[in-house]
């Protein structure tokens, strides 16, 4: 009689364990990590940003839109050995226009472009800003859930005077707020 009671308790205990595990699993299904929406969103933004930068690269947009600035910055760096001053405030309107037409509405972006000057004498790479393109007033509006994307680009398209130039592009893409 005692032995039979023990067996029943074991069966009850096993059932209880199954129930607890089932409840835990059920709870875990509903329990997502914190800010999961943010993670999904930023990964989409990143993919979008890279797609945008890649499509510009494949179509030689950098050479076409920034060719004169790249050439001028390289020329000045070659002649005076340092970057032109104050260019980080340049508004790259053509680039901004191109980005506005490509990126979805409602997104804010800022693209900072630098030429990477290889200083053989000094054995260093120097970043010279060409300016930035944005579709918002960077002094007044702030971005939320913004995603920074870094991209390097060796110019391969025409004209020859920029072919072989190296760019560093910082894209920040996000939402207003």
Partner 1 sequence: MRGRRARRGQILVVTVLIVGIIIMALLVNVYQMHTLFLRTRSPVVREVVAAVTADFKRALAAMLALATRAYFNYTEFSDLAERFASYGMSMYNRHNFTVARLAALTFLEYWRRSAIEAYGAYGLQVSYELLTLDLSRELGRPRSVKNLMKGYWYLPISGSYAYAKLRLNLTALGFYNWESDVFVGLTLVVNRAPVSVTSTNTTIQISVRFDGDVDTSTYPPTVRGYPYGNLIARGWVRVYYPERDSAGRYTGAWKLAKIKDVTYLGMGNYSITFEPAVEILTDPVTGQRYAPLMVVISDERGIVVEASTYDYLMFAIGRRTPDILIYYDSAGNRRTLARPSDISNEVYTLEMSANLSLYWLGMKLAVDPQLKLPPFPYVPIKQVRVNVSLDGTLSTLAERPIQYENWTTVPWRGVQVDIPVGLADPQMDLVKGDKYNVRLVFQVKFPTTSIRRQYVVLWWYDDLDAEPAAYPTQIQYIYREERGQVTWKDVWHPLYDVEFVDLEHQRSRDYHDYGGVVAFVLRDPVTDFAFGPFNLHAFDVFYGRYLGRYRPYGTWQVYYNYMRYSWIQAPIRIFAILDTTQVGNVYAAGDVRSDYYDTLAIVQVVNGTRYIPVITYIYWKNTRSGYGYWLCTGMGRGYADYFVYTAAGYQYRRNQTFVYTYSDVSGSPGGVLIRPDPGVLMAHWSSGGVGRAVVLNKAAVELLRSIGGSSASFSSTAAAPGGQRQGSIEADFWPYTTSKTVQQGTLLRYWAVLFDFRSSGSGFLSLPVSSAWQNAYIYTPMFLEDYAPRVVRP
Q: Per rule CB under 8 A, is residue 141 in the interface with partner 1?
A: no
Instruction: Give the shortest CB-95-to-partner 1 separation in angstroms.
Output: 18
Q: Per rule CB under 8 A, is residue 26 in the interface with partner 1?
A: no
Q: Per rule CB under 8 A, is residue 74 in the interface with partner 1?
A: yes
Among 1, 28, 34, 80, binds partner 1 (CB under 8 A): 28
- CA-to-CA separations, 37 to 33, 43, 120, 139, in angstroms, rounded: 9, 10, 47, 28
Separation between Cα atoms, residue 26 and residue 60, nearest integer Å: 52
Among 130, 131, 151, 173, binds partner 1 (CB under 8 A): 151
- CB neighbour burial string for 86-118, b if at least 16 within 10 angstroms, e if fewer: ebeeeebeebbebbeeebeeebbbbbbbbbebe
Q: Per rule CB under 8 A, is residue 15 in the interface with partner 1?
A: no
**Angle at Cα 157 formed by Cα 152 and Cα 161, nearest 5°?**
95
Q: Per rule CB under 8 A, is residue 39 in the interface with partner 1?
A: yes
Among 72, 94, 146, 157, binds partner 1 (CB under 8 A): 157
Helix axes 36-58, 61-80, angle to 10 degrees: 80
The residues that touch partner 1, with contacts defined as CB under 8 A, are 2, 6, 9-10, 13, 16-17, 20-21, 24-25, 28, 33, 36, 39, 43, 46-47, 50, 53-54, 57, 60, 74, 78, 116, 118, 120-121, 125, 149-161, 163-164, 166, 168
């Amino acid at each position: 009689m005692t032995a039979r009671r023990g067996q029943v308790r074991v069966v009850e205990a096993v059932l209880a364990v199954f129930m607890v595990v089932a409840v835990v699993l059920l709870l875990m299904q509903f329990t997502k990590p914190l800010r999961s929406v943010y993670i999904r969103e930023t990964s989409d933004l990143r993919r979008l940003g890279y797609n945008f930068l890649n499509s510009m690269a494949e179509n030689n947009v950098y050479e076409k839109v920034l060719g004169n600035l790249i050439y001028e910055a390289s020329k000045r760096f070659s002649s005076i050995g340092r970057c032109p001053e104050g260019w980080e405030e340049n508004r790259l309107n053509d680039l901004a226009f191109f980005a506005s037409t490509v990126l979805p509405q409602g997104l804010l972006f800022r693209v900072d472009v630098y030429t990477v000057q290889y200083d053989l004498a000094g054995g260093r790479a120097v970043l010279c800003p060409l300016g930035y393109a944005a579709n918002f007033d960077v002094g007044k509006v702030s971005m939320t859930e913004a995603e920074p994307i870094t991209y390097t680009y060796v110019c391969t398209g025409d004209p020859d005077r920029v072919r072989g130039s190296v760019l560093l592009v910082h894209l920040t893409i996000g939402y207003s707020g």
